[in-house]
Structure 1
């Protein structure tokens, strides 16, 4: 067996044309990036050098400033070019690296003995499979295994180097210093609806009405919130799609998540019977070996609790946006790694793999929802900035990216410490929620009025559940965008010195808007239950805006695309302002929800007919 494994490893290495010779370079090596391992990770022994990893090298892009200028123009509702989105080929041309950059990097790789590498269509990313011990030589570093407090193990370094002459030609290389987990933002899974009743009673969340019941109170029950409630609350009820043939909505899955068709069919039969065909017709794509599944969960997957998030996404979308076609993306790669030396590892690099694949497709959905994220500080800044630019490229093509704000408020309980070697108490913003080129969604609960979602940490049915509070914050990586200045500065001014020094008031604030995120009715493994989190509010919001796009396309107009400039300039008028609640987390009460924009519920929740009108489409 050992001889066979050695033979397989040798074959794999030969396939990559890697020559184990000393690294030669035109200039001395110097450290390119340093990033501390977060508190949740424990350093173990040196990593197994024979393990194969998929190395991703991000070259300096040729004219990203030009792309961002295009993006700002086509996304500004007052600009003459509003809605004139770019094609995939036009974007590739803008970001393609200079000949000098390509030549310098190719020479370095060639002299190092690296062959068999591939480029994406824009040629700004190189992918190559290499043994870890060779990567150590290539980047003049050492990899160790690190163990997360949840048991996951990854191989990473805290610094890496490049020849000095390449520092201006290469932005990022991963996996190197990234310690993120790509966790789904689904705060709670409850097996049966009955189990939530005690919690609902304690939290006094009943949607009681006094006198004549309203349309909302007739159909909305906080212990199990259904598609009929959402359609009534956000006023999509009665809307019939008119342009589904040229519209679509997608959602991204990571960590081996995959939507289960029989569960979706069961859900729709009960809650949206006219849409039941969606369970069979949604399209699925596997990226980097991501799983696909057309049948029920396997026994092993059910035992591991797999696909709660993916099921929630497809059911929330199908329940609100029918007949809009649905697309599911399942991206492979997750820790802990499989200790097989012949397996090429690509663990915990989800957003980069997915968005680079997406940008190479010539046709993509007009709306994409993603319910994953992690603390911003666990993501190296170079990686976060580069991936955020990739999201900008998606927006320039006319696609709106919705990301969840997170479920730990300001950063969780007893976890709010910096990852800069100083271990300073500070609020922890999340990524990709903090990227200015995505639209970030927070969570609400209750009806008439809604308020920011919150449930205190406590024991329920003998199981301890951590704090659940809608994600909130200001980025430490990304500055406040111009379109947000008025709204965010007004909020910061209104709270004065509250939590001064614990957050960055000049950073990009999030979320941008919100939707219901507590006790969604859904089906998993054939069982009806409920689930909570910004993982729920995000696909719900995406589904509502897919209908806005439908109205636009039916009116002969373009899709909304990169949403935030429009949202902050005029779209906010089509949202119900939320004025009750606070962000919680980091062992404090947190930022207060206020009138106008706030970093807990954004501008509020959707009023569909108003959004359609403000977008410039015909109101049905």
Structure 2
């Protein structure tokens, strides 16, 4: 997947490796270093049952970036000729021979044939085994490890082996070598619910700022207060977004992804629509795609209502009825482990699923859950694998620190977004709300652990999936005080640091090469490699930015103002849905992966040249002329963007 030059670079950037204390003559296929955040509690007793998941390498992945570029480069003769989901599945499906080779290896090591199962669509091999058998097969030593701070325990090894002939077939093994870095506790990470179910706040939820509004929001179409309170009318004025209109017979779709316990409240949507729209009557709701027990919570707190109400209010106000809105509601009321982006991907790609759903029981939710109390909010059905189709545009406002999972794990997820691009799907992610720091404003210590919350030192901590080169990462901007849309240019978000920086895993995509080279040639930051990956050979993010401050949102019948890139992402996703409608109306297809077109046409953006995204005791990066790791290419203008895409095949 990576060139020789980049492979050497990424090896240099990786954490120190650790060899097992018990020598083995089997060279490691993959090994890792457990940071000081983790300590070994005890080796697993030999008879401990384990379920191993062996991810089979997907063939043709080496050619996938080139294929995607051929469909999304505006100068390509095959631009827009997207594949069907079936074509994508067949092209990347591991062969029957690959499964047979792995099975025969396992059997030769003493594993019973009856305990080896082929996963859905052949993407995984599942093995029911004991710890002693697993250690013999993999040349590994499995133990129970504990993370300091929260006491979380996981089963891991520090190295494992596969035969030389299978190194290109077995991509990774779970549970394997990955140790996520400890998050500094913030107000306590665990709580006991009244039902006795262990719950945790979702790791990936963005920590937006919000404040109660002391007065009733202003007029539906008023623009005088946009620097203090954003409304749909403000966004239309800022970015020349037209009023939506219905186009009959168009298969135009927009999906919003939410994770339990976040869910919207219909009365709040009704209050928002009656206040800020004239075309959406009470009861207007998204189409619900309930994934793995996805449910609408009866809780009314801002922590469970705010995100979903915000995302849906603006996506629906800006895009309905031009596009049909689907809500991918993921996860039941058991949120330890919480549902993740991987659980969502499982539901739209059966080949990504393991045989029991999820991808790693310590990182992703595994379904079904036990339900002795017959609680209807707890999911007891089969894990959802390939159950739902992907909409033409997907907006997600959840992510995590790039280094919180092993590189192989991140690459496998990132490749799912590449596949969606091949299918003509635009995937939009918010870039984060902690500037150059990671979740909870934590940076990275020299030993690989995280600093305390808000520490004024450490290495910059990039956010994923923002660093994946196959999604569009959206940062945040703001209107200067007392300004009116269109009169004064926007600046980088001021009430929080818009997420941005450079990956430590993913190489520089070709569509971004010129922009990155120009940035470093004219505005190279003063930080050295101890702060961030300054090689100029890796993916930079965000790609673009939109207003992200003080979005008027109804929560439990009251009005609040929300700030964060979680607001920017669905706004841009709605704009792309409107562009798709214009193309579909004249017989063209959806725009799919948009980044190559965006970077080819910087004239479609209002450049943002003021502001920073601070973190780790620094001002972070600066917004400058051209692309920058604060606001990307700048703020899009809908009319210019529409004209660019309409001119393409």
Give the alignment's TM-score, normalised by structure 1: 0.79
- Superposition deviation, residue 143 in structure 1: 4.2
The structure-2 alpha-carbon separation of the partners of 1:596 and 1:52, relative to structure 1 and needing over 3 Å to count, comes to: farther
Question: Which residue matches 2:312?
Answer: 314
SS at match of 1:567: helix
Greater shift, 88-97 or 133-142, is seen at 133-142
- Superposition deviation, residue 414 in structure 1: 5.9
Question: Which residue matches 1:95?
Answer: 92
Residues 172, 386 of structure 1: 8 Å contact kept: no
For 1:171 and 1:469, how far apart are their aligned partners in 2? 36
SS at match of 1:103: helix
SS at match of 1:218: coil
Q: Within the alignment, does 1:172 sit opposite 2:169 as a pair? A: no
For 1:407 and 1:196, how far apart are their aligned partners in 2? 27
Deviations 1:270-300 (A, max 9, x none): 22241246733x122233x24212xxx42xx
1:378 aligned residue (404, 417, 421): 404
Deviations 1:324-354 (A, max 9, x none): 11112233389974xxxxxxxxx36723332
Residues 402, 538 of structure 1: 8 Å contact kept: yes
Question: Which residue matches 1:194?
Answer: 214
For 1:371 and 1:239, how far apart are their aligned partners in 2? 23
Question: Which residue matches 1:162?
Answer: 161
Q: Within the alignment, does 1:350 sit opposite 2:317 as a pair? A: no
2:523 aligned residue (495, 518, 521): 495
Question: Which residue matches 1:106?
Answer: 103
SS at match of 2:115: coil
For 1:62 and 1:600, how far apart are their aligned partners in 2? 36
The structure-2 alpha-carbon separation of the partners of 1:499 and 1:241, relative to structure 1 and needing over 3 Å to count, comes to: farther
Question: Which residue matches 2:618?
Answer: 588
Question: Which residue matches 2:237?
Answer: 232
Residues 63, 95 of structure 1: 8 Å contact kept: yes
The structure-2 alpha-carbon separation of the partners of 1:285 and 1:249, relative to structure 1 and needing over 3 Å to count, comes to: same
SS at match of 1:488: helix
For 1:135 and 1:336, how far apart are their aligned partners in 2? 29
- Superposition deviation, residue 59 in structure 1: 0.7
SS at match of 2:628: coil
Residues 120, 356 of structure 1: 8 Å contact kept: no
The structure-2 alpha-carbon separation of the partners of 1:47 and 1:77, relative to structure 1 and needing over 3 Å to count, comes to: farther
The structure-2 alpha-carbon separation of the partners of 1:234 and 1:305, relative to structure 1 and needing over 3 Å to count, comes to: same
Q: Within the alignment, does 1:286 sit opposite 2:290 as a pair? A: yes
Residues 241, 550 of structure 1: 8 Å contact kept: no
Greater shift, 498-507 or 237-246, is seen at 237-246
The structure-2 alpha-carbon separation of the partners of 1:193 and 1:398, relative to structure 1 and needing over 3 Å to count, comes to: same
Q: Within the alignment, does 1:452 sit opposite 2:492 as a pair? A: yes
Question: Which residue matches 2:227?
Answer: 222
Q: Within the alignment, does 1:544 sit opposite 2:575 as a pair? A: yes
Q: Within the alignment, does 1:267 sit opposite 2:296 as a pair? A: no
Residues 36, 158 of structure 1: 8 Å contact kept: no
1:608 aligned residue (614, 630, 638): 638
Q: Within the alignment, does 1:185 sit opposite 2:225 as a pair? A: no
Once superposed, what is the RMSD of the aligned Cα atoms? 3.4
Deviations 1:30-49 (A, max 9, x none): 4333344567x554745998
Deviations 1:239-262 (A, max 9, x none): 424267311011222343333333
Q: Within the alignment, does 1:405 sit opposite 2:426 as a pair? A: no
Runs of 5+ in structure 2 lacking a partner? 1-23, 182-201, 351-385, 452-456, 480-484
SS at match of 1:184: coil
SS at match of 1:163: coil
Residues 319, 578 of structure 2: 8 Å contact kept: yes
For 2:101 and 2:404, how far apart are their aligned partners in 1? 30
The structure-2 alpha-carbon separation of the partners of 1:568 and 1:226, relative to structure 1 and needing over 3 Å to count, comes to: same
In proportion to residue count, which structure has more helix? 1
Question: Which residue matches 1:441?
Answer: 474
Deviations 1:415-449 (A, max 9, x none): 23356489994222111100000110001111532
The structure-2 alpha-carbon separation of the partners of 1:60 and 1:588, relative to structure 1 and needing over 3 Å to count, comes to: same
Question: Which residue matches 2:603?
Answer: 573
Deviations 1:392-412 (A, max 9, x none): 001100001111111111115
Question: Which residue matches 1:462?
Answer: none
Deviations 1:441-491 (A, max 9, x none): 001111532111133xxxxxxxxxxxx310010111111111111111111
Residues 64, 94 of structure 1: 8 Å contact kept: no
- Superposition deviation, residue 55 in structure 1: 5.5
For 1:129 and 1:473, how far apart are their aligned partners in 2? 42
Residues 435, 499 of structure 2: 8 Å contact kept: yes
Residues 243, 553 of structure 1: 8 Å contact kept: no
1:68 aligned residue (65, 68, 71): 65
Greater shift, 525-534 or 128-137, is seen at 128-137
SS at match of 1:372: coil
- Equivalent residue runs for 1:513-552 within 5 Å: 513-552=544-583
Question: Which residue matches 2:120?
Answer: 120
- Superposition deviation, residue 521 in structure 1: 1.2
Deviations 1:576-607 (A, max 9, x none): 11111012111111211011111111111121
The structure-2 alpha-carbon separation of the partners of 1:381 and 1:313, relative to structure 1 and needing over 3 Å to count, comes to: same
Residues 182, 254 of structure 1: 8 Å contact kept: no
Residues 111, 133 of structure 2: 8 Å contact kept: no
For 2:216 and 2:492, how far apart are their aligned partners in 1? 18
Give the alignment's TM-score, normalised by structure 2: 0.75
The structure-2 alpha-carbon separation of the partners of 1:310 and 1:92, relative to structure 1 and needing over 3 Å to count, comes to: same
